[in-house]
Amino acid sequence: MFLVTSTYTATPEAIAAALPAHRDWVATLYDRGIFFLSGRLVPPTGGFMMATGVTRGELDQILTGDPFRQLDLLTHDIVEMKPTRWAAGLDDVKGIF
């Protein structure tokens, strides 16, 4: 499982202009079962995505498809994680880890 954080390197106007294409790209990765959680950072300096079911190399390749990245509007940082504990209410989602 991976945590991907992004840091914007462009103006808010440039980010806003590319946001619809970025959201469409993210949606395809939910459809493929790769992303299972994503959103904006607070304050809005970037975003995050949680990914599973792929290798680090595959994820690196997938991220090259991000329209924000293709337009050089952000950088990505990736952290691999291996959960070992979770709250009782998350028992139904253990399988994605």
For each of the chain's 97 residues, which pLDDT tens digit applies? 999 999 999 999 999 999 999 999 999 999 999 999 999 999 999 999 999 999 999 999 999 999 999 999 999 999 999 988 888 877 766 666 6
Q: Which residue has the tokens 């079911």?
A: 53
Q: How many CB atoms lie within 10 A of CB 32?
A: 11
Q: 1: which 2 tokens?
A: 């499982």
80, 85, 89, 90: CA torsion to nearest 10: 30
CA distance 94 to 78: 21
Residue 74 in 3-state DSSP?
strand
**Between 3.40.50.970, 3.30.70.1060, 3.40.630.30, 3.40.50.1100, what CATH number should domain 2-82 receive?**
3.30.70.1060
| Closest to 73 measured CA to CA, from 21, 24, 15 | 15
